[in-house]
Amino acid sequence: MKVLKNREALLGLAILVTMGVIALRFPAFIRPGNLANVFNDTAPLMILAVGQMMVILTKCIDLSVAANLALTGMVAALMNGAGVPLPMVLLTVLAMGAALGAVNGLLIWKVGIPSIVVTLGTMTIFRGVIFLMTAGKWVNAHEMTDGFKALPRTILLGLPVMSWVAVGVILIFAVVLGRTALGRSFFAVGGNPHAAVYAGIDVGRTQFMAFVFSGMLAGLTGYLWVARYAVAYVDIAGGFELDVVAACVIGGIAIAGGAGSIWGAILGALFLGVIKNALPVVGISPFWQMAISGSAIILAVVFNAAQSRPKGRIILREANQ
């Protein structure tokens, strides 16, 4: 029964059960090589889920992550086509992603606009900027250098570099959230903003930092996405922000802020990754993925509400004591 009360254990069990059911009909699905491919396919979602988790912890939401990814990915592709060295491209997308996140954070912190309104607006603006930069044209594989495309796909100790980048991001931010004052501030701001102020925490600045981290990770993912799939265009990763939010909510990150764990967010992303990769195997149209993600969000919110609902007090028993 303890497993049913622990979100991470329950998610891990759900992932294992799902893979077991699929393996009954398609044993090749659980071969190590295929599982490594599933993990690698889910790597962008895991990276973005880490950033989104920090934002949600502070009672905000970032709906612009996929558009940030698309814009930074396009900039990376254009810089590569102009002959800019790869290290400079990587530094640029990290800085640019962080700057785009900072725009969101500043509008929320200094202007007081709700995060959902700000990020809905910047989501559209970012994709509009891509169109203005390219006039709607694509950057295709033949316009990218071999080194630019090869880095995320290079195999290191049995896994592509993109998978190792995801592992590195997870470990780094697990330390940030669990071992630093800033990480504890994310939880404090989301859990009780008023108490956080009395504790000397600047709520607006903390939310700003969460958006900077989210934007920086979106910028990193922008390069990884474009380099791996060898294409950049206006609508790249369209709708991917839903999957990112779904991964967090399924992983037990409280949409009201202040509660959750990075491991829950990662397991939520892996759950969606397994489902996404399993759909073609079992003959279900990939177009159902959006419906499944939306349903999973609703079920997860219901589950979270049921778990967090305070138990009623037995007044008569207390009166008799």
Q: Quote the number of domains for the chain.
A: 1
Q: pLDDT over 90 for what percent of the chain?
A: 51
- Residue 80, in any domain of the structure: yes
- Residue 265, in any domain of the structure: no
- Residue 34, in any domain of the structure: no
- Residue 97, in any domain of the structure: yes
Q: What is the pLDDT of residue 305?
A: 65
Nearest residue to 241 via CA among 286, 167, 187, 297? 297
Low-confidence residues of the chain: pLDDT under 70: 1-5, 286-287, 289-290, 293, 304-321
- Alpha-carbon span 86 to 84, nearest angstrom: 6
CB 101 within 8 A of CB 212: yes
Per-residue pLDDT tens over the stretch 142-186: 889 999 999 999 999 889 999 999 999 999 999 999 889 998 999
State the Cα angle at 36 between 72 and 74, rounded to 5°. Answer: 10
In which domain, by residue range, is 90 found? Answer: 40-238+254-259
DSSP SS3 for 159: strand
- Residue 35, in any domain of the structure: no
Which value, to the nearest 10 degrees, does the dihedral of the CA atoms of residues 273, 274, 275, 279 take?
A: 110
Q: What is the pLDDT of residue 307?
A: 64
- Residue 313, in any domain of the structure: no
- Residue 308, in any domain of the structure: no
Q: What is the pLDDT of residue 158?
A: 86
Q: What is the pLDDT of residue 319?
A: 45
Q: What is the pLDDT of residue 49?
A: 95
